[in-house]
Amino acid sequence: MTTQTDRWRASIPELPPLTTDAARTAESLLLLLHYSIDWDSWLAERRKRYWDELLPSHIRAATYRAVDSLPTWWSLLHQALPMTFADQTRRLEIATLLAEPGGPVLAILRDQLPALLLRVRIIADAHRTQDKTVDQ
């Protein structure tokens, strides 16, 4: 079954796939987090600092506080960042990913967060460009 994050990744086929389940899960959760941000909130005024400061700092804090629980990690982020979940397929994918073993995923987030966020930003930029092309 193709997931929403698979479709987002497909917008940039040049990006090599991640090689471990934990890394793919971490990237998927970060993509879903990014696409769940409510831009009609206080974050709209801080958009310039989003990728380099706000998002990484909140993810890092949640990653260390969650110890080895992905549901706790997600809950901490949900408390810190305004999110909206209008899409049923995204909610289902999030719930499925949160059932994965947390320890390996959180270890990847602790050790490789800048690299993962770089990938997420590349995917988001490619997806946004693709959407603009379709709209024209």
Are 43 and 82 within 8 A, CB to CB? yes
* Residue partners of 70: CB distance under 8 A and separation at least 6: 29, 97, 98, 99, 100, 102, 105, 106
Give every residue of the chain whose pLDDT is below 50, as ranges. Answer: 134-136
For residue 133, what pLDDT is reported?
53
For residue 130, what pLDDT is reported?
66
Residue 10 in tokens = 């497909």
For residue 62, what pLDDT is reported?
98
For residue 57, what pLDDT is reported?
96
Are 132 and 21 within 8 A, CB to CB? no
DSSP codes of every residue in 97-114: HHTS-HHHHHHHHHHHHH
For residue 5, what pLDDT is reported?
95
One-letter amino acid identity for 9?
Answer: R
For residue 42, what pLDDT is reported?
73
For residue 1, what pLDDT is reported?
78
For residue 136, what pLDDT is reported?
41
